[in-house]
Structure 1
């Protein structure tokens, strides 16, 4: 128990278990053993088959409400060239008050802080007034097909859906206490393929130039802003990411041109509505165009309530900073959780994630554990 109350010791133990997505190494088994030691009922939930088989873990302590769930992932991105690291990426070296290692911030350090927070609550000897659970996937950094979404489906079937979920992703840009994520923008990727009629450039009247039509489509899409933002969201953004023709000749009008774009959208839109808008604009300017759309996540917002208030108060108490409530950045597994219960995100400083020499200050690990512990007390668990 003594070791589990120390977030640095827990983080070092987890980092020393290489777990590049979706290979769990021994990381999830180690975490499960730690939670079992604290009295959690631990269920390992591998989903998928063959190369897609994904390790997941659900653990719960207590059986009554309020039920607070902590969500995260044990998988990490590859370290790259290990010789470029100051220390081996899985050695978990501590030097001058800093812990180095792949996953130190994203997000084994965050998991360690929550384990330590719960261990301290258990060590106090009082019975929990509610219950605490862990939803841990091994496929957040990958396609996320058999990770958090599948665990949530299992949780719903087993009547294990929490009252509130806290995701421990590294949300702070510069300093611990900067930012709490209370939502995320949606993300839509689109491919627009415009068919034309090939011909000689000297006889354009005999051809139909798809490049010209595509450029007209793109300009029409860009001409009017999607919106001006909302209380918690910045304006939606459409960005053209690729324009391809594949034409190696200078005197030939091509038969086809295509573009790719991404829309990061706020809570004024849905993926389906945006797809309809794209298709309408394309029909107006390029009737033979084809639009292919993939929505990787819808926008969502957890309206600030008691749990978010208690999280902010805990951050203020430990760090002296009042975090802003933000919805920017990329997507996370919170987009899946939001379909089941209110969810917010708060973790470590993310400046070094996915980089060589990923690292975290030891003081930040301790402060995050104190924040999580104070939060649990604040919500009555």
Structure 2
């Protein structure tokens, strides 16, 4: 007994109709959990991150190695809804396209890995190992669902991990940039601008950091053959209170994209060293904080899981698949902190409309993705035994 294509489409529509915008992921977790309810052999666990924000872990299969299938349940905000021609939370189908926020990033991937597992259960597929669904909260705002699951040990038994992010089924992502978002706050002392000697100019002090940090980061000329070089951009800056007062407060925020050749710790040491040096000056008071840093994911294009995913995708979709790197961080960076040593790849259905108005997924590709995961899981276990 196979699930009908119509039923598979309805599951995705239902997921899209839950507006899990960086919150309310529990509704998604509850819906996914309900799909596994008919199968007492599925082990279903909800792991809270915050109220209304539960991660979901579902484990099926028996003894042997464990393959993780992961997807995040949150979506980014729809933005200006007048720019949409389709209801962002409607899951409307037009021809081969299914529209909605999260259709590409990444409820189609999440639905596909869930349905693959449901079909294994429905058909009593014998598995030489176990499959674990890792459905996470808060990926779009800092991978903290994956961090919660990793800290709780849910990735410690993995022999491999497939993240159903919207790479497109013709792309197997095996390496990814890391990210460091940091903030520098400069505290000064206000005074009337006619008497600057009575104040401390927080903007002047912040600019010292700004002028020094660019050249410091530019010294990293290491080039990754797939990911390129380290990126550093100051993207937000603000300060001051009014035109005739010496500013007592100024701050900047920067975004960095790191590569495996430069571990994040190297960058932390340099940034902290620069801050400490500047703070030795009279009146300078700079404070540095980080938000949700992620390590870069090294990776081996020849790893067995990478090559297997490429081969199965080509078989199912009848077109070449490419082994590539990603400029963005993903949940894999958190899961790889686990005790186990495993390959993490990203491969899932997607279109180039993620985070945009009228986001959509091709229904053909979505249904193909389910087939890809259904072939990949048993083949992965066979490969390990081979």
TM-score normalized by the length of structure 1:
0.82
Q: Give the alignment of 1:309-328 within 5 angstroms.
A: 309-319=307-317, 320-328=319-327
Q: Which residue of 2 aligns with 1:298?
A: 295
Unaligned runs of 5+ in 1: none
Is 1:8 matched with 2:9? yes
Q: Which residue of 1 aligns with 2:135?
A: 136
Please report how far the alpha carbon of residue 181 of structure 1 lies from its aligned counterpart in structure 2 after TM superposition: 4.3
2:300 and 2:62 map into 1 onto residues whose CA distance is: 26
Cα 1:254/1:76, change in 2 over 3 Å: closer
1:213 and 1:355 map into 2 onto residues whose CA distance is: 38
2:68 partner SS: strand
2:236 partner SS: strand
Asked if 2 retains the 8 angstrom alpha-carbon contact of 1:152 and 1:161, the reply is no
Q: Which residue of 2 aligns with 1:240?
A: 234
Q: Give aligned pairs, total.
A: 370
Please report how far the alpha carbon of residue 279 of structure 1 lies from its aligned counterpart in structure 2 after TM superposition: 2.9
1:301 partner SS: coil
Cα 1:281/1:137, change in 2 over 3 Å: closer
2:213 to 221, 238, 244: 221
Name whichever of 109-118 and 59-68 sits farther off. 109-118
Q: Which residue of 2 aligns with 1:260?
A: 253
Q: Which residue of 1 aligns with 2:152?
A: 154
Deviations 1:307-341 (A, max 9, x none): 12211222232332232320312x32222111124
1:177 to 164, 170, 185: 170
Cα 1:230/1:115, change in 2 over 3 Å: same
Deviations 1:275-304 (A, max 9, x none): 321232344455334231214122232334
Q: Which residue of 1 aligns with 2:350?
A: 349
1:15 and 1:150 map into 2 onto residues whose CA distance is: 24
Q: Which residue of 1 aligns with 2:97?
A: 98
Deviations 1:58-114 (A, max 9, x none): 111112222111111223334456565433333322111111123211222112222
Q: Which residue of 2 aligns with 1:65?
A: 64
